[in-house]
Structure 1
């Protein structure tokens, strides 16, 4: 193992470099500006039943936040108990001085209680800092329905060039932020533009890198609506993104006095020398690590054998060798790739004896925790065996690469049959069998398996079809165990935009009813042959759920049925109507109004009519606007303001 003295030397050397590199920024810092221009605020629509308790807990939480934010620029805190307990988070922009950060935070605390005096949750967004409190833990929440964009200033004289340049800039700062603990600034110029464009991206420090990326991508989409103007912001629960033709963040000056130049020169030379020393130490340590990993019984592959191969009944599947999988996939050739998602790439593999498999290469970081999570995921998937679940055959580990080996499901994923203009579209009989098979698979996961499992990402792309077009649920990358003694889990939001249940998207409260909601959205897609959102369609039809419900209320629901089905000579309209009603029951706003998946199976297989009539589902805008959410449904009212009489504000509340 590396010597403790080597570790200590590395730590002190890194600390010294950090101190040296901070000198230029400290010396060249511009004049104070607390950046207290308001970008937006939001209040929960729920008022407390005990105002005095809420106010006292909020005051105590804000006081605790103030103690830490004045020295670190970031803080979390909690105060009280029960429904009036207050969880708080505050964070300043990294480029603000601690004095400016304190001023910004103080202004935020004063303003938030004016806007939201007795609400159980609220947020205050200034250009320089962010403050939020809730009566539940939200620290790992990247997105929610209270997002917005703020557009300000004059239109660009060359809108197309300006828009393209801004797009490149935001992609650049987003990429830099992911490598720099969630914060980055940059500028970009283009021939034909009279000025440079400046950009800034910042995530809450409680987010993982993946969550930060998801948030900044969505913030970019929000900011895109401002690209015709010279200043815009994208705001979400976990991040802040802004561009402007004015340098709104602190930029180091290009000119400096001789004394400053000396300091910078000394710091640079010292840093260069230390980097050389660090490189030698790193190579030495790396050599020791390589020797250490060669010790018998210590490699990850051999660790995997302890977990999998040692099982006498081969309970967790076969441990494949990397060479055998590489040969089966022709060295993971692109022509063998059959899919790709947020968690990995999937390749078709053919063994020498003719057996066909699907090999999924996971995106996994190198760490003991990452390996433990990989082991847990394999065990979780292996624990669930059902005819409507894709079967896991085994796994493989090799250094940074973690591979899962599944049975090959030949007819690919459902989305490729639903949303493409195939020569032979799926018949209603086939679609009904897919709907029923998916329900069986989910009922098994949620209620019947010896481990209760929540899938969290039910969608058409994750439903595979076998030779007989029977449904098999796939991709358990987001799956969670659900203990029997718990009513819900509070966790980071995972899944796909449009399929996520409202209580999970907004509050991070996960139950098996979240899978039920996703299933309901999937069923509507299967019946209609279109995706949950299609921006190419006019506003009344853009969002599938809202459009379908409006037609249902008008007794015109068959207008939503896939036209390719209407052409069938014999169509069971009564069965289609029942399926649509079940879909609406699954997408009810209140989780307790949604049926269990076992009940869904019962309704699908019963010849009787559905007795429970669905009410208005969640996330529907009566006006059928492109935003697709009614503010009363999401529980947030967001008011965005800017200090300009020429400001144009656009607010977006979107389901995820």
Structure 2
């Protein structure tokens, strides 16, 4: 039995509305700043029969997360005496406060999932990292390399290494004048450097210099690379067709480029969905009008549906 005209139109409008909802993303996907880079878990488990360490760690995580909405670096200690736990977080210098908070808030869960309860742990995402250490944990050199990765594609013989080394030479002075964070581009090579927030300017420059030397040796002619030392890290990428538009500034007040590009894609998707939905809606109005005319003609006895 055919649906009555009014019911058919309402049902069709519902279908169009539902289709538009499917076309418009209901939530934005996580930007690349929350992608995992590496984990560092101490080999010694945390013995905690009374739960005092668990309580201190929980308090520490809560403080770090709350501070991440208003700062890009924060270091504190929870507990007291031999049962105290020190920890910190740092966000990449070009992340907004919102992105920093979104990034940092994921870290305690990842620490628990990937490391469990150890005397020390560090998780590095692309846009932020967090670490904690129980009182008495052995300290390591700020120059010690924690992680490195090099792109699988080599571009030897194209003048790439000369361009990369030229822009590398700007990093040491740039990160010092940029208060621990610096990005720049030179002939299709994009570089970034950042030091831990409590590192002095001279030590920051030395750390970045060491990271650059590691990248040159470890990555050779690789098209990209990242080198993470204990107190600083650098990354570089070569784009033969030109560096994509991004917010590359030494100012820590600018928003994340990854966040901006993601937002642009989402807005484009919404625009297409709205345009398509509008077209469907107009078409449906025309169809419903034809049905109404048919109904009126039916009442006049000309023909029936």
Q: TM-score interval w.r.t. the shorter chain? A: 0.5 to 0.7
**Pairwise CA RMSD:** 2.7
Instruction: Give the match for residue 47 of structure 1.
Output: 45
Paired residues for 1:216-235 under 5 Å: 216-224=208-216, 225-235=218-228
**3-state SS of the aligned residue for 1:99?**
helix
Instruction: Give the match for residue 74 of structure 1.
Output: 73
Instruction: Give the match for residue 36 of structure 2.
Output: 38
The answer to whether residue 92 in structure 2 is matched with residue 103 in structure 1 is no
Paired residues for 1:18-167 under 5 Å: 33=31, 35-50=33-48, 52-136=51-135, 143=142, 145=144, 147-156=146-155, 158-159=156-157, 161-167=159-165
Q: Which runs of 4+ in 1 moved over 3 A?
A: 31-34, 246-250
Structure 1 residues 211 and 88: CA distance shift in structure 2, 3 A? same
Check the 8 A contact 1:173/1:184 in 2, yes or no.
yes
The answer to whether residue 185 in structure 2 is matched with residue 187 in structure 1 is yes
Structure 1 residues 249 and 71: CA distance shift in structure 2, 3 A? farther
Paired residues for 1:110-509 under 5 Å: 110-136=109-135, 143=142, 145=144, 147-156=146-155, 158-159=156-157, 161-189=159-187, 196-224=188-216, 225-245=218-238, 250-251=246-247
Distance 1:235 1:252 in 2: 20
**3-state SS of the aligned residue for 1:200?**
strand
Paired residues for 1:608-647 under 5 Å: none
Check the 8 A contact 1:174/1:184 in 2, yes or no.
no
Structure 1 residues 219 and 249: CA distance shift in structure 2, 3 A? farther
Check the 8 A contact 2:83/2:135 in 1, yes or no.
no
Q: CA deviation at 1:215?
A: 1.4
Distance 1:248 1:86 in 2: 42
Q: CA deviation at 1:146?
A: 5.2
Instruction: Give the match for residue 392 of structure 1.
Output: none
Distance 2:31 2:97 in 1: 11
Distance 1:137 1:131 in 2: 19
Instruction: Give the match for residue 293 of structure 2.
Output: none
Check the 8 A contact 1:162/1:227 in 2, yes or no.
no
Q: CA deviation at 1:137?
A: 8.5
Structure 1 residues 103 and 227: CA distance shift in structure 2, 3 A? farther
Distance 1:101 1:230 in 2: 28
Check the 8 A contact 1:33/1:100 in 2, yes or no.
no
Distance 1:248 1:149 in 2: 23
Structure 1 residues 122 and 159: CA distance shift in structure 2, 3 A? farther
Structure 1 residues 38 and 222: CA distance shift in structure 2, 3 A? farther
Distance 2:244 2:146 in 1: 22
Q: CA deviation at 1:153?
A: 4.1
**Larger RCO, structures 1/2 (Cα 8 Å, 6+ apart):** 2
Distance 2:39 2:177 in 1: 29
Structure 1 residues 249 and 39: CA distance shift in structure 2, 3 A? farther
Structure 1 residues 243 and 84: CA distance shift in structure 2, 3 A? same
Distance 2:206 2:225 in 1: 19
Structure 1 residues 137 and 146: CA distance shift in structure 2, 3 A? farther
Distance 2:54 2:172 in 1: 37
Q: Deviations over 1:464-485 (max 9, x none)?
A: xxxxxxxxxxxxxxxxxxxxxx
Structure 1 residues 222 and 84: CA distance shift in structure 2, 3 A? farther
Q: CA deviation at 1:54?
A: 2.5
Structure 1 residues 249 and 200: CA distance shift in structure 2, 3 A? farther
Distance 1:80 1:249 in 2: 45
**3-state SS of the aligned residue for 1:48?**
coil
Distance 2:172 2:114 in 1: 31
Q: Deviations over 1:588-644 (max 9, x none)?
A: xxxxxxxxxxxxxxxxxxxxxxxxxxxxxxxxxxxxxxxxxxxxxxxxxxxxxxxxx
Give ranges in structure 2 of 5+ residues lacking alignment.
Answer: 1-28, 250-305
Q: Deviations over 1:385-406 (max 9, x none)?
A: xxxxxxxxxxxxxxxxxxxxxx
Structure 1 residues 34 and 154: CA distance shift in structure 2, 3 A? closer
Distance 1:227 1:248 in 2: 23
Distance 1:128 1:163 in 2: 26
Q: CA deviation at 1:159?
A: 4.6
Q: Deviations over 1:146-185 (max 9, x none)?
A: 52211124222x3562222212212212220111111100
Distance 1:242 1:125 in 2: 14
Give ranges in structure 1 of 5+ residues lacking alignment.
Answer: 1-30, 190-195, 254-656
Structure 1 residues 199 and 239: CA distance shift in structure 2, 3 A? same
Q: CA deviation at 1:248?
A: 8.1
Check the 8 A contact 2:225/2:235 in 1, yes or no.
yes
